Amino acid sequence: MKYCALVDSVDSGSIAEEIGIQKGDIICQINGTDIKDYLDYKFLSSDTEIVLTVKKTDGEIIEFEIENDYIEDLGINFKNMLFDSPKSCANRCVFCFIDQLPKGMRKSLYFKDDDSRLSFLYGNYVTFTNMKEEDIKRLIRYRISPVNISVHTTNLDLREKMLHNKNARNVLQYSRMLKENNINMNMQIVLCKDINDGAELDKSFADMAEFVPELVSVSVVPVGITAHREGLYPLKPFEPEDCKKVIRQIESWQEKFKEQFGTRLVYASDEFYLIAGEPIPDASEYEDFPQIENGVGMLASFKEELLEALKCGTRQGKTLKTVVATGELVYPFIKEMVEKIAEKYPIDVTVVPIKNEFFGGKVSVSGLICGRDLINQLKDIKMERLLFTRSMLKADEDLFLDDITLSDLEKSLDVKAVPVENDGLAFLMAVLNARNEENI
């Protein structure tokens, strides 16, 4: 068997439960076709007549003939969405963050994925460099939308140089194929000082206009620079004045695109505003937050949610001495939000900025704070509760990037540690120690 579509669970009352599919079974084929990922499964199972070939836990192979007149979801859930191996990245990008990781971390963190399927399933950004034309046609055939693309620059000579891959030149060709077939796209630019900024950024924006309206949004994020860049390309960090110039440049293009297309289209990530020391734009300026998961408009959304929640009456729980641990970059913003809460509720909350000693360099965002930095910098602070953003933890496990567990943190600091979602309402409920805090 070439692929392993292992069933993790079956929905109650579903077709799968009715025919006897169980956890541990393996879906081998649908209508005689191997399925190598969840995209195959969804496309092939969306038919009125299905032949499902299943390998049961005892090794028996059974074919189920299913009549699905209403094209209902079969109700099969998989732990992994890729039934083969994810495609690793063949690029050697000058800005690659993984190349800057310190040694000794868990192996999975060093794997570079560049898999178009993960773009749709998990919102990952892909470069197209390991894709062939038939791969793009598959996305089109399956109507995969949106596709998230790491473009970085539309100057193809420069893109090849930045990615160190001759296949970097296919990005515009493949994007045109998606546009011609009405596949929506989000694009990303990791901005590197004196490389793809300035006039090159203007060129990229101008060229990207070709892909509207299928191009829904473009995010611009500053390159991350750690202290572990020995032997790597000498990148320069963005200083406050640099960030102000980028913001003004993007604002100028937003005005042009708003007039031409009715959308701002391009957005600076929150980091640019924080580094520049400028106010975060109002939530309305991010339209429908097309790239909030990429750190674009996250703080504006957070503030709007919190202020709306403050207008409502919330029953406060027991007041406990609480510390909110956050990254240095977002510290002033979080401190301001806590002060907003304190205007209405009697709270005992201290916001503490955590310096990222683990990664070093210019890394100051909250999501990259590791367990040992929390322990080392909070060990002398008296508190009854510790709040921190859930983005510091692995998505499916209470584990920090340095393999410190949530339990390790609590034992080391002798405190109840509460990971909080990146959501204004969730933050308010956590700060107030509200009764449904565990569900946020």
- Output the furthest CA–CA distance in the chain (Å, rounded): 66
| Position 93 in a domain | no
Q: What angle do CA 302, 306, 312 make, to 5 degrees?
A: 155
The pLDDT score that the predictor gives to residue 123 is 52
| Position 83 in a domain | no
Q: Is the pLDDT of residue 347 over 50?
A: yes
- Mean pLDDT computed over 292-314: 93
The pLDDT score that the predictor gives to residue 85 is 61
Binned at pLDDT 50, 70 and 90, residue 329 comes out as: very high
The pLDDT score that the predictor gives to residue 395 is 80
DSSP letters for 197-254 = STHHHHHHHHHHGGGTTTEEEEEEEEPP--S--TTS----PPPHHHHHHHHHHHHHHH
Beta-ladder partners of 82: 37
Nearest to 222 by CA among 196, 202, 253, 203: 196
The pLDDT score that the predictor gives to residue 440 is 34
Say if residue 197 is in the same domain as residue 269. yes
Q: Is the pLDDT of residue 436 over 80?
A: no
The pLDDT score that the predictor gives to residue 107 is 64
- Mean pLDDT computed over 12-16: 93
Q: How far apart are CA 284 and CA 266, in angstroms?
A: 14
- Mean pLDDT computed over 186-213: 97
The CATH number for 44's domain is 2.30.42.10
Say if residue 175 is in the same domain as residue 103. yes
What does DSSP assign to residue 150? E
Share above pLDDT 70 across residues of the chain, in percent, rounded to a whole number: 91
| Position 36 in a domain | yes
| Position 92 in a domain | no
From 260, 275, 294, give the residue that closes a domain: 294
Answer for the pair 5, 35: CB distance below 8 angstroms, yes or no. yes
| Position 185 in a domain | yes
Say if residue 410 is in the same domain as residue 269. no
Q: What are the φ and ψ backbone dihedral angles of 343, each rounded to 5 degrees?
A: -65, -25
The pLDDT score that the predictor gives to residue 106 is 67
Nearest to 99 by CA among 255, 289, 231: 231
| Position 85 in a domain | no
Q: Is the pLDDT of residue 313 over 50?
A: yes
| Position 123 in a domain | yes
| The model's pTM | 0.85
Q: How far apart are CA 187 and CA 208, in angstroms?
A: 9
Say if residue 123 is in the same domain as residue 217. yes
Could you list the residue range(s) of the whole structural domain that residue 56 is in? 5-78
The pLDDT score that the predictor gives to residue 383 is 97
Q: How far apart are CA 46 and CA 354, in angstroms?
A: 49
| Position 91 in a domain | no
Give residue-wise pLDDT tens across range 84-109: 665 556 667 887 877 777 876 666 65
Pairing status of strand 33-34 against strand 147-150: unpaired
Give residue-wise pLDDT tens across range 224-257: 888 888 888 899 999 999 999 999 999 999 999 9
- Mean pLDDT computed over 325-343: 97
- Residue burial 203-237, b: 16+ Cβ < 10 Å; e: rest: ebbeebbebbebbbbbbbbbbbbbebeeeeeebee
Q: Is the pLDDT of residue 59 over 70?
A: yes
Answer for the pair 16, 10: CB distance below 8 angstroms, yes or no. yes
Binned at pLDDT 50, 70 and 90, residue 131 comes out as: confident
Say if residue 369 is in the same domain as residue 419. yes
From 249, 270, 294, give the residue that closes a domain: 294
- Mean pLDDT computed over 54-63: 92
Q: Within 13 A of 329's CA, how many CA atoms are on the CB side? A: 23
The pLDDT score that the predictor gives to residue 89 is 62
Q: How far apart are CA 259 and CA 254, in angstroms?
A: 9
Binned at pLDDT 50, 70 and 90, residue 379 comes out as: very high
The CATH number for 344's domain is 3.40.50
Binned at pLDDT 50, 70 and 90, residue 114 comes out as: very low
What is the distance between the terminal CA atoms of the chain, rounded to a whole angstrom? 42
Give residue-wise pLDDT tens across range 383-392: 999 999 999 9
Binned at pLDDT 50, 70 and 90, residue 435 comes out as: low
